[in-house]
Amino acid sequence: MSENVIEIKNLSFTYPAGVEALKDINLEIKKGEIVAIIGQNGSGKTTLVKHFNGLLQPTSGTVIINGKDAKQSTTAQLSREVGYVFQDPDDQLFMSKVKDEIAFGPKNLKMKKNEVNKRVRDTLKLVKLWKFRNTHPLDLNLDDKKLIAIASIIAMNPHVIILDEPTSGQDHRGILRAESLIKKLSKEHTIIIISHDMDLVSKIAQRVIVMYNSKILMTGTPKEVFIKTSLLAKTHLKPPLITQLSQKTKGMRSDILSIDEFIEELKTKKPHSSKSR
Amino acid sequence: MTKAILSSYIKKNTFIHKLNPLTKLIFLVAVIITVFAVKSFIYNLIIVLAIIPLAYSAKLLSKVFKPLRYLFIIFIVLYGIQSFLYPEKETILIDFGYGIAIWEEGVLFATIISLRLLAMIVHGYFFVLVTHPGDLVCSLRKIKFPYKFGYIVLSTLQVIPRVASQMETIIDAQKSRGLETKGSIANRLKAYSPLLGPLFLGSVQNVVERTIALESRAFSYETEKTSYRETYVRKKDKIIMASIVVFFTLYGVISWIL
């Protein structure tokens, strides 16, 4: 049994304006897990993850991070353990050079100068953007900006990394890059992603949490979640296209998540007898 | 999740909410002129306090003092500078020796300025709370204000809440990167100041995008424009407008005579 890094009990949250954004959430996230949170806009995904690093405090219920009540620490203190990459990199990036941007987090954690420099170099090499170290972050294209935003969190080396929409607005190459980076990171970190990109979710998530109307509607492996099409339809979510195709094809399994899997399944089927003489 | 912010307007069904925006605007303008015209600070204090019954009748008493927490620093600076350095100093209140002292005239001056500021901000904010921006623009256009001027008013009202929520996101993002924003005022200033750059740049960029969005919907096309919202100047509005003018004129005159 691996231990829980995040434990949430009976969490409810109401915004000051009176909007009840989370209702009685119970959730445990284990060390090393890759969890995807999906759901419509406004279903409470972002509100939920903002509790993981203390940006929001529960109206009722408890949030335990690494065995400690999140109430007792500030967001800045929690940032050692939980890193949160915002959806829009423009909200996050504000330094005039990429390398300063990456150094900002480690410096806040009061690291020594050569340690900061080492982190900057290692992180930028990991995301393959070392060549842009002296560029202004806002001069980069969106794909690179998103990577820099992720890198600025990686450099702080938090155990948990939350990624809000890591692939939104990106081209195919950008999506593939983000995907392989997340896979690399998942070897040493617990990853939580919020995404509308069902392909990404089905490829990388070990567990999917579906949110609907401020509550957790269901949770399970991608295969378990994507076969429950009627429940998903309630939240206007659809499984990846290849899964939909296999679900609508006679004789195919309904929990196929990738093209390779689809082809493998096809090979096991016998050709139709009508062609034989 | 975030909700769309139109302006600070809060919808309620009260007498003040139902008044024509122009009536409320005249009240606001009268308040601002009066706080500068009257002589003693007691009269300014009365005008500031008048917000309490007004806000109570509009069911907004808990909301109307919200902007004051941002003014705190301004008041400290104002009193700090004026108490020590007001040029026409005569009476010493507290003497620290070495030529450093708090002067009565300086404290009085700081008080008058603070009350003027308070009156403008509290009443101005109250105006925004009870006036639908669309109605305001519509009624301004009815008294022949240009269409573009209407838009300037509208976008100004919208820009403050939008910038505030943008600021909140930016600060949240930096807190998530270990920026400590709690502690002394000096610490906070140090933490927040580098964030103003992206906020300002973001706002400018926003304006450019808005311009394109507006032009693509024929904003500056020369024609008589219709309005989705409709406002009327009713009899009660006329009576109240006249009373406001009479009352504040008398108020100013009395403050000079007594």
User: SS3 sequence, B172-200?
Assistant: HHHHCCCCCCCCCHHHHHHHHHHHHHHHH
Percent pLDDT > 90 in chain B is: 23
Count: domains in chain B: 2
Asked whether residue B221 is domain-assigned, the answer is no
B221 backbone dihedrals φ, ψ, rounded to 5° = -65, 130
pLDDT digits (tens, 9 = 90+) for B97-152: 777 788 888 888 888 889 999 999 999 999 989 998 888 988 998 888 888 888 88
Which residue does chain A place closest to B4, by CA atoms? A42
- Answer yes or no: do A76 and B172 touch at CB < 8 A: no
Per-residue tokens: A230: 């009627």
Pick B175's closest partner by Cβ from A55, A109, A138.
A55
Per-residue pLDDT, A277: 47
pLDDT, tens digit, 9 for 90 and up, residues B188-219: 787 787 788 778 888 888 888 888 998 998 88
| Residue in chain A lying closest to B179 (CA) | A76
Q: What pLDDT is attached to residue A2?
A: 60
- Statement to judge: residues B97 and B190 lie in one domain: no
This complex has an ipTM of 0.84
Does B223 fall in a domain? no
Confidence of residue B4 (pLDDT cuts 50, 70, 90): very low
Question: B236 and B126 in one domain?
Answer: yes
- Closest partner CB to B173 (pick from A21, A44, A91): A91
How much is the mean pLDDT over chain B? 85
Alpha helices in chain B (DSSP H): 15-18, 21-37, 41-49, 51-57, 68-85, 104-130, 133-142, 147-175, 185-192, 196-215, 235-257
Cβ <8 Å between B177 and A86: no
Q: Are B20 and B51 within one domain?
A: yes
The distance of B166 to chain A (nearest Cα, Å) reads 8
- According to DSSP, the residues that pair with A26 across neighbouring strands are none
Which B positions 171-200 lie with beta carbon below 8 A of chain A? Answer: 172-182, 194-195, 197-198
Inspect the interface and report whether the beta carbons of B177 and A79 lie closer than 8 Å: yes
The answer on B122 and B240 residing in a single domain is yes
Looking at the structure, tell me whether residues B56 and B176 fall in a common domain: no
In a domain, B8, yes or no: no
Under 8 Å CB pairs connecting chains A and B tally to: 74
Distances (CA, A) of B244 to B33, B103, B254: 12, 37, 15
- Answer whether residue B37 shows pLDDT above 60: yes
pLDDT digits (tens, 9 = 90+) for A85-130: 999 888 888 888 999 999 999 999 999 999 999 999 999 999 999 9
* B224 lies in some domain: no
Q: Which residue stretches of chain A have pLDDT < 50?
A: 1, 276-277
In a shared domain, residues B249 and B187: no
Residues B40 and B127 reside in one and the same domain: yes
User: What is the reported pTM?
Assistant: 0.77
- Written as one letter, the residue type at A231 is L
Q: Are residues B35 and B84 in the same domain?
A: yes
Domain encompassing residue B126: 15-131+230-257
Q: Are A53 and B176 a contacting pair at CB < 8 A?
A: yes
d(CA B233, CA B144): 14
Distances (CA, A) of B158 to A106, A274, B8, B161: 37, 69, 8, 6
d(CA B79, CA B77): 6
Query: Are residues B123 and B234 located together in one domain of the fold?
Result: yes
Could you say which of A17, A42, A105 has the minimum Cβ distance to residue B177? A105
With a cut of 60, say whether residue B236 has pLDDT above it: yes
3-state secondary structure of A190: strand
Short-list A39, A51, A40, CA closest to A15: A51
Q: Spell out the residues 6+ positions from residue B4 whose beta carbon is closer than 8 angstroms to its own.
A: none
Flag if A79 and B180 touch (Cβ within 8 Å). Answer: no
* pLDDT for B76: 87
Q: What pLDDT is attached to residue A100? A: 94
Answer whether residue B103 is part of any domain. Answer: yes
The reply to whether B100 and B40 lie within a common domain is yes
Per-residue pLDDT tens digits for B6-17 = 567 888 888 998
Q: Are A201 and A195 in contact (CB under 8 A)?
A: yes
pLDDT of residue A273: 53
Q: Are B51 and B165 contained in the same domain?
A: no
Asked whether residue B10 is domain-assigned, the answer is: no
Identify whether B37 is part of a domain: yes
Domain assignment of residue B38, yes or no: yes
Put simply, the answer to whether B178 touches A105 (Cβ < 8 Å) is yes
Bigger pLDDT: A196 or B159?
A196
B88 and B20 part of one domain: yes
